[in-house]
Amino acid sequence: MQRRCLRLIVHMSGQYSRRAILGGLLGTCASAGFAGAPTVSLRPVARPVGVTAASAPGAQALIDSAKLGGDLAFSVVDVRTGRVLEALDEKGGHPPASVAKAVTALYALDVLGPKFRFETRLLSTGKIQDGVLNGDLILAGGGDPTLDTNGLAKMAADLKKAGIREVRGKLKTWGGALPFARQIDKTQPNHVGYNPSMSGLNLNYNRVFFEWKRSGNDYSVTLDARTEKYRPEVRVARISVAQRKTPVYTYKDKNDHDSWTVARAALGNGGSRWLPVRRPEAYAAEVFSTFARSHGIVLKSGGALRGTPGGQVLATHKSAALQEILRGMLRYSTNITAELVGMTATTRRKGKPKSLRASAQEMNRWAKAKLGLQDAALVDHSGLGEASRLSTGALAKALAAVHKSGRLKPILKDIPLRHENGKVNKSHPVKVKAKTGTLYFVSSLAGYMTAPDGTELAFAIFAANTKLRAGIDRAGGDRPVGSRSWNRRAKTLQQQLIERWSTVYGS
């Protein structure tokens, strides 16, 4: 492997030249071989710095020490001037993982506005006389990603308050406000709760709560639409225990319900987890019917409507303001929230998209026009699809450009920096608000850092080892060997780069 030494050159003034900073960046005799050598060399921008810059470890030395293999790219920009201070492969397209949600948040805020609220409605299609609805009742979704069992319980109570005591027609559902998608990403295992179905009517992030307990030599299992207040059991999803070791889960579409089996050998004494729902509208209808029945209103199932519903509005459930929904999305990285707010923004901007991918393409066009992300190639709004690509250079510049608006930084998550032993360092002088992104052998981080002197920098760091990722057993869904330690090293490198930038550009 070819190696080279760069000599520090000091001006008579005592400040380091551009070459000196470059020397500090690459490190003394630093290796140029990070997995495959980067197509773009490490490129700092000259800035007058004192002796503290010399004490900062070289970026290449940090990269080599991390031993991630694959590709790494980063870019850091001064938010005040917009100048690129340091970059590596900043023009290359890399998988952003959940960092894509930061772009989605900006898209939704620009198109819908921070005060936008989703609405779920109950409509009647017939005349109401003496508390009797002589027609159908329609549960019409508006794309709300946060509608939960509590919300449906409140809507059932509101129906009772509206004077309805009997419905002679049927309960029908409408999820046509947004396109239906059976999964966000088809390459993910069937049983993971972060990859559910989506439509205009969704409940509990389209997940059902699976709980099991050992009972003698057997197991009792339940599936319910759980919240902290309610636990209505459901039949739209069913599960049974199978006498096997692997696979842990199997899934079949049984036309009127989701049919799951779970391997007995994997259950232990008891436990719980969320499973994805593939029939979101039927799921919401079943849970709503349970609460309506508790108020004496018995509903007959009428299935899903195809056309846009009309009729008298009997009750409306409104979500929290969009800004708060996005704050939760960025904190907990909820994929379905990103997809639903993204598709809702596209619907407002251009009309209902034909598919999730079509909506992502529209967001790409918006990002190029409004954020300058000329290389944006996202296949969804959440970053779950591994084919998505962004460049760190364009993203860091966009983050710097929107900094003055104050829209994104306040809703980003505080990212604590850590001691060498891994524990959170609450007194660390560098503060970071950013969005993380994690897939197996993919780790990304983008947002803002504030140095001890108050200097604010926008940054993006993408790391991916596609060779290791290609060897993942996608059907099994088990954590790949080595992925945990790889991710830990990637996060350590992210912190080390941030600390370097604080020392060199913020002291």
- Each residue's pLDDT, cut to its tens digit, for the chain (507 residues) gives 333 222 222 222 233 333 333 333 333 333 322 233 333 345 544 444 444 555 788 999 999 999 999 999 999 999 999 999 999 999 999 999 999 999 999 999 999 999 999 999 999 999 999 999 999 999 999 999 999 999 999 999 999 999 999 999 999 999 999 999 999 999 999 999 999 999 999 999 999 999 999 988 899 999 999 999 999 999 999 999 999 999 999 999 999 999 999 999 999 999 999 999 999 999 999 999 999 999 999 999 999 998 999 999 999 999 999 999 999 999 999 999 999 999 999 999 999 999 999 999 999 999 999 999 999 999 999 999 999 999 999 999 999 999 999 999 999 999 999 999 999 999 999 999 999 999 999 999 999 999 999 999 999 999 999 999 988 887 766 789 999 999 999 999 999 999 999 999 986
Largest CA distance in the chain: 94
Extract long-range pairs of 413-417: CB within 8 Å, 24+ residues apart: 413/330, 413/331, 415/445, 415/447, 417/495, 417/498, 417/499
Rg of the chain's alpha carbons, rounded to an integer?
26
Q: Which of 96, 155, 73, 116 is nearest to 377 (CA)?
A: 96
Q: Which of 43, 46, 41 is nearest to 9 (CA)?
A: 46
**Three-state DSSP class for 262?**
strand
Q: Which helix (H) or strand (E) is 100 found in, with range?
A: helix 100-112
Enter the tokens of residue 40: 């773009």
From CA 215, how far away is CA 241, in angstroms rounded? 13
Side-chain half-sphere exposure of 49, counting CA atoms within 13 A: 27
Side-chain half-sphere exposure of 192, counting CA atoms within 13 A: 19
